[in-house]
Chains A and B, each alone.
Chain A
């Protein structure tokens, strides 16, 4: 039997060379998804006075929740903010949904689908596709909230 090696699994030169291959998620999630996950766009909150429409969707005890605020000017989503408790897929798709919605007319934004979000991200793993529903659902709820509040005014 050989002497006790200091076989820390990582510190050989060979392990260094294969480091890229060991980075599963870079293959599992593409670079665009990783980018929106690590640097989500439009993160933040709006006060009740600032926001024209608000939505809360999902259930954190089931793994994800999203809050969304929109500001509407002349029928256009002038500003949008979100916060999210969720998996990487939920964070990235929420971020992309806000990017797609920002600057769009309300009727266009309301028609955005989860497929639009997934396509803009260049695809996400099949079992994460349900995550992308959250951003577009929250968006429609926030637009509906705006329309109801406008009626009430």
Chain B
């Protein structure tokens, strides 16, 4: 099998599993309890929080652990919207966000908020000016992702933060795809909130975190016990969060060597594919991108048919984001970039990772050349 869907999820590293395993068994204590067993869990969680915070230039008390990136995005948007609605009811986001942000914004619209969705340019980047121009006097929150999950294009979050600096507006950043792939520092970015996920960095699923700058008002969305300083109720998922922090640490440690390695493999793959297969477009190629992501349209073939041919040869890739695969809905990201619908119907995402080799990529390029040829031969377009 050749696995090229690391933006969807990643296999857990062996050393991450070894680190978290004891907290599922012999160190099972509830961190809120009194005795030694509980204190062990509490100490491990404190270490995890400190380590994760350090990776992104934050303080431990600025980290709220969650069940994943989706909950972190929900908490950021709903939690600030609720606290700031007295000041205004307008939110600015981009049309290329993950559904965790987009559908939460749609839901907030039902609750009386107004949301402006800023489109991207055809190169996959949202223009700083477009975001700043969408801001109104009653804007309370701006949400912009750091790296797009489909195209891998990196968004100008720091520049947007600089443009908002003098204004009393919370800035949330979904950095789920960026963690462990590009340098990440909450102070350099200048954001008030930042969402992270564990399973994209070879950690466990069901683990994520939200960074919250101390001056950002945030209401909890889960109420109950006073875990996570009262900002996220529920017994701490110690094993998952310890595993997440360990995985994030390893991913950031390896980034300096792994980033350039993946970029070389990715660039060579794109060059090979575009040379061998005519009428091929690489989306976001002219923009700064994650080193591991290739998003490519092959004219006149439908993406699910290519995916199935690849799968029959043991190659795992994806069409747009994994959430929309299985339904005929084309990528909202490509639509927001103004890519014609027909081109969007033929887009595939290849996301490389730790296990990816040069042989994997040349085998995939060869398979694609054959598959696209066959599908074009029967295509009515």
A10 interface contact, C-beta 8 A: yes
Does residue A19 face the partner (Cβ distance < 8 Å to B)?
yes
Contacts of A152 in B (CB 8 A): none
Q: How far is the CB of B59 from chain A (nearest CB, A)?
A: 25
Among residues 306 to 339 in chain B, which have CB atoms less than 8 Å away from a CB atom of chain A? 308-309, 311-312, 314, 326-328, 330
B301 on the A face (CB < 8 A): yes
Contact call A2/B380, Cβ cutoff below 8 A? no
Interface residue B25 (Cβ < 8 Å from any Cβ of A): no
Complex Cα gap A24–B322 (Å) = 15
Complex Cα gap A84–B378 (Å): 6
Interface of B is mostly: loop
- Contacts A37-B305, A127-B327 given; indicate if A91 touches B342 (C-beta within 8 A): no
A5 touches B305 (CB 8 A): no
A65: B residues at CB distance < 8 A: 380-381
Cβ contact within 8 Å between B19 and A1: yes
The reply to whether the CB of B302 lies closer than 8 angstroms to some CB of chain A is yes
Which B246-282 residues have C-beta < 8 A from chain A?
Answer: none
Interface size for B (C-beta < 8 A) is: 35
A85–B1 CB distance below 8 A: no
In whole Å, how far is B195's beta carbon from the nearest beta carbon of chain A? 25
- Segment touching A, from B9-17, B47-55, B95-103, B152-160: B9-17
**B309 and A7 contacting across the interface, CB-CB below 8 Å:** no
Chain A min CB distance to B346 (Å): 9
Say whether A84 contacts B342, CB under 8 Å. Answer: no
Question: Which residue in B15, B302, B308, B340 is a CB contact (below 8 Å) of A85?
Answer: B302
A residues near B345, Cβ cutoff 8 Å: 60-61, 63
A53 within 8 A of B: no
- Contact check, B301 vs A8: say whether CB atoms are below 8 A apart: no
Distance to closest chain B CB from A78 (angstroms):
22
Question: Does B355 make an interface contact (CB < 8 A)?
Answer: yes
> Do the beta carbons of A10 and B3 come within 8 Å of each other?
yes
- Across the interface, B380 reaches (CB within 8 A) one of A7, A19, A62, A85, namely A85
Asked if A148 lies at the interface with its beta carbon under 8 angstroms from chain B, I say no
Q: Known: A1-B19, A85-B300. Is A40-B378 also a contact (CB below 8 A)? A: yes
By beta carbon, the residue of chain A nearest B301 is: A85
With A19-B314, A87-B328: A5-B14 Cβ-Cβ less than 8 Å? yes
> Is there an interface contact between A84 and B380, defined as CB atoms closer than 8 Å?
yes
- The 5 tightest CB contacts between A and B, nearest first, are A8-B355, A61-B341, A83-B380, A9-B11, A87-B304
* 26 pairs of residues in contact across A and B, judged by CB atoms under 8 Å: A1-B19, A7-B13, A8-B354, A9-B3, A10-B2, A25-B308, A38-B312, A40-B378, A43-B377, A43-B378, A60-B345, A60-B381, A63-B328, A65-B381, A67-B380, A83-B378, A84-B378, A84-B380, A85-B301, A85-B302, A85-B380, A86-B305, A87-B302, A87-B304, A90-B302, A91-B305
